[in-house]
């Protein structure tokens, strides 16, 4: 090993030691608790929600909300547990080995501390962000501590100190600058209203196959629409087909992790009912069990057609509303059945 390599090892070791000392000093700031003190969250995969809420609640700084953590995970990995990068970052929160050595721990109790394990990763992300927000608030820098913490997470706190705030767009090709901007702008769609009103999580009454499917799909409220995206395993990137998947002339589906209308329905009912992938196929598979509009129940499938075939499907959500993924540029949402799509296109409903 050459001298430079030895020097790097010394620096890395020092960084890990400093980080470990800092982590130990945080015991009064970041406590083990499961109380939700940071607000609700929507539009995240179900397997992430309890860990995000727990990580936010465990930090005494109110700036660390579930929505902030969710928006950060979306930007880091698109909620992909096995995500990796050319720089060696791993897992949904994209930890490099040196940082993981300080902040990682076996939070889910499976016997290993793994940056690919959702519970381990989100807990470590929350602990690190809590620390950085604390540093930001104590630094005297005149900026939103959330912005400063995000910049520190992406570029290291040394870069924040060097520039006296979020590094400018000229730093690192604008990576940190845009990282902070995107996360701060996207937080809103992950915020769930506490009163359960518009924008909040859907309250589903009843039990049985239909309500359970609705409840399962509703956990993804706020998730982006992605044409061709999503599977029974969760949200995913889609594709463009010369007509669909574009926004402002640019293909966005191929880089958007989310659902389209039929994949959301498929996910909701899987695996108890293995519906086919497209809206037209889902209608064909359930057409022998039609439901009159006056007799709709939560979980029933509602369809729209423009004369050339079925083009849209949603899940009836009671009270004259439908849960659906509308179109490119929108998110999974609950809307009145009469206005979710052109009212004249309503085709009918079925019960899987």
Annotated catalytic sites, by residue? Answer: 76
The 3-state DSSP composition of the chain as helix, strand, coil percent (nearest 5) reads 45, 15, 40
State how beta strands 246-247 and 290-291 pair.
unpaired
Inter-axis angle of helices 209-218 and 261-269, nearest 10: 130
**Separation CA 347–CA 310 (nearest Å):** 8
Give CA–CA dist 236/134, Å, rounded.
34
As beta bridge partners, residue 236 has: 258
**Distances in Å between the alpha carbon of 8 and those of 1, 85, 347?**
11, 21, 66
Query: How far apart are alpha carbons 128 and 107 in whole angstroms?
Result: 14
SS3 of 250, please? strand
- Which of 41, 85, 40, 44 minimizes the C-alpha distance to 257? 44
Left, alpha or beta for 278 (phi > 0: left; psi -120 to 50: alpha)? Answer: beta
Q: Diameter of the chain by CA atoms?
A: 78
Residue whose tokens read 């069990």: 289
Nearest to 54 by CA among 71, 31, 82, 28: 31
Number of helices (H), then strands (E), belonging to the chain: the values are: 12, 12
- 3-state SS of 147-215 is HHHHHHHHHCHHHHHHHCCCCCCCHHHHHHHHHHHHHHHHHHHHEECCCCCCCCCCCCCCCCHHHHHHH
Cβ burial of 109 (10 Å; 0-12, 13-18, 19+) is exposed
């Amino acid at each position: 090993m050459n001298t430079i390599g030895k020097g790097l090892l010394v620096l890395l070791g020092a960084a890990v030691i400093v980080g470990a000392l800092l982590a130990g000093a945080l015991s009064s700031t970041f406590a083990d608790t499961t109380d939700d003190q940071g607000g609700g969250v929507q539009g995240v995969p179900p397997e992430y929600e309890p860990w995000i809420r727990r990580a936010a609640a465990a930090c005494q700084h109110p700036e660390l909300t579930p929505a902030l953590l969710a928006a950060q995970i979306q930007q880091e990995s698109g909620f992909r547990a096995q995500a990796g990068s050319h720089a060696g970052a791993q897992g949904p929160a994209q930890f490099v080995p040196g940082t993981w050595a300080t902040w990682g721990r076996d939070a889910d109790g499976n016997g290993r501390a793994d940056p690919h394990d959702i519970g381990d990763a989100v807990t470590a992300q929350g602990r690190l962000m809590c620390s950085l927000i604390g540093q930001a608030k104590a630094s005297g820098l005149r900026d939103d501590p959330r912005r400063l913490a995000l910049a520190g997470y992406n570029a290291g706190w040394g870069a924040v100190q060097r520039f006296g705030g979020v590094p400018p767009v000229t730093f690192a090709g604008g990576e940190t600058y845009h990282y902070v901007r995107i996360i701060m702008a996207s937080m809103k769609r992950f915020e769930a209203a506490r009163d359960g009103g518009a924008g909040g999580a859907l309250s589903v009454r009843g039990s049985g196959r239909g309500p359970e499917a609705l409840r399962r799909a509703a956990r993804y409220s706020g998730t982006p629409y992605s044409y061709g995206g999503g599977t029974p395993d969760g949200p995913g990137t889609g594709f463009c087909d010369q007509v669909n998947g574009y926004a402002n002339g640019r293909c966005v589906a191929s880089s958007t992790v989310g659902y389209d209308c039929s994949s959301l329905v498929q996910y909701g009912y899987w695996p108890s009912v293995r519906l086919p992938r497209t809206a037209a196929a889902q209608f064909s598979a359930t057409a022998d069990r039609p439901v009159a509009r006056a007799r709709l129940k939560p979980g029933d499938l509602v369809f729209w057609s423009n004369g050339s075939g079925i083009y849209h499907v949603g899940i009836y959500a009671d009270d004259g509303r439908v849960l659906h993924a509308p179109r490119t540029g929108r998110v999974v949402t609950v809307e009145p059945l009469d206005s979710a799509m052109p009212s004249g296109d309503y085709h009918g409903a079925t019960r899987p």
